Amino acid sequence: MGAPPGYRPSAWVHLLHQLPRADFQLRPVPSGFAPREQEYQQALLLVVALAGLGLGLSLILIAAYLIRVCCCRPPEPPGSKSPPPGGGCVTWSCIAALLVSCAGIGIGFYGNSETSDGVSQLSSALLHANHTLSAIDHLVLEMVERLGEAVRTELTTLEEVLTQRTELVAATRGARRQAEAVAQQLQGLAFWQGVPLSPLQVAEDVSFVEEYRWLAYVLLLLLELLVCLFTLLGLAKQSKWLVIVMTVMSLVVLVLSWGSLGLEAATAVGLSDFCSSPDTYILNLTQEETGLGSDILNYYFLCNQAVSNPFQQRLTLSQRALANIHSQLQGLEREAVPQFPSAQKPLLSLEETLNVTEGNFHQLVALLHCRGLHKRLCCLVNSGARLPGFQS
């Protein structure tokens, strides 16, 4: 199964998807998205471990430099006020590194904004899908209740009024059977009714997590920015204590930054695997969580002429039954009203119910078409491709 029409993975997705993966025993792991497989989880944890390795190397280099400066520096002659050799080079190197860090922080703010936009689009797609599914259930329930009420009241009253004409009673009972058949067919169209998976709940959970993720990332970036600015201020004013305090803070920020980098790298690798071929995983997961048939899921996931509408037979039978009810009511109005004037009121009420039901039926046909939900699926996949910061 390919990707949805209108979706094309970006070059970053292809690049990250082609990177080799290995488990803890350094055995190759397929790049297919399989978050429940232990080998795949180990491959992502190994990506995080690479960030830990980078942190360890950084701390070793910093410790070696500090040992060299503090312990291996030759003693200065008494009364000498000349700066230590290489001090200016170190200062300018620190300034250059801080400026590069500030540029990286700016890129981090941009990536955080892109991720937030992607999550917003994801939540919006889920909410629109929930609205469509809820509208289908509501229309089906309303039509079934209207037809049931018509069977219990107007058609029963009409049978009692037309008792003297057996052929008219037979026509009325035929309309009753047709209405009951329509109600039975319509109940099978509410395919999402009773499904435990709620797109609304998923959207709320995603938005809740994103609020704290966005806030934590912004606070981390602001902390890094403040450390850079105060370090530059300490270098400019040659304040030893300020530089020392900011150096200690820089070590804390260094640990947090490498940890954040590891999590982001693992997330980017996992999402690149997902975005390279999203339909297979989404289809299997949806079928597992909802228990829906493969014919319904394939219809909404593919939405092309090669896949038939699984509801077409029910819709056709319902439409024919509604048309038969309409013709039977017209025949009863011609035959029964002249002889039984009291039959006019239930007949008019039945026609009004039928007209409303037919209008709702046409809305239901439009909602059941694959275009709406398939469009939300494309939006969901496109928003997922923006989460690690790359766009499709």
Query: Tell me: the pLDDT tens digits for 120-138?
Result: 888 998 999 999 999 999 9
More confident residue, 6 or 265: 265
Could you tell me which of 51, 305, 23, 332 has the C-alpha nearest to residue 169? 332
The whole-number pLDDT of residue 2 equals 45
The whole-number pLDDT of residue 1 equals 44
| Whole-prediction pTM | 0.80
What sign results for the dihedral spanned by CA atoms 207, 210, 211, 214?
negative
Q: Where does the pLDDT of residue 307 fall: very low under 50, low under 70, confident under 90, or very high at 90 and above?
A: confident
Q: Note whether 113 and 387 are within 8 A (CB).
A: no
pLDDT higher than 60, residue 296: yes
Query: Tell me: the pLDDT tens digits for 175-192?
Result: 889 989 999 999 988 888
Average pLDDT taken over every residue of the chain: 83
Question: Can you tell me the mean pLDDT for 349-357?
Answer: 90
**Long-range contacts: 92-100, Cβ < 8 Å, 24+?**
94/231, 94/235, 95/232, 95/235, 98/228, 98/231, 98/232
Task: Report how far residue 156's alpha carbon sits from residue 158's, in angstroms, rounded to the nearest whole number.
Answer: 5
User: Which structure tokens are listed for 130?
Assistant: 């929930």
> Torsion-angle region of residue 167: left (phi > 0), alpha (psi -120 to 50) or beta?
alpha
pLDDT higher than 60, residue 6: no
Q: Where does the pLDDT of residue 46 fall: very low under 50, low under 70, confident under 90, or very high at 90 and above?
A: very high
* Nearest-10 crossing angle of helices 87-152, 166-187: 170
The whole-number pLDDT of residue 330 equals 86
User: Alpha carbon of 30 to those of 6, 50, 144: distances in Å?
Assistant: 27, 19, 50
Task: Report how far residue 348's alpha carbon sits from residue 154's, in angstroms, rounded to the nearest whole number.
Answer: 9
The whole-number pLDDT of residue 110 equals 86
The whole-number pLDDT of residue 390 equals 44
The whole-number pLDDT of residue 77 equals 55
Query: Tell me: the pLDDT tens digits for 67-99?
Result: 776 676 555 555 544 555 555 666 777 777 778
Question: Can you tell me the mean pLDDT for 48-66?
Answer: 87
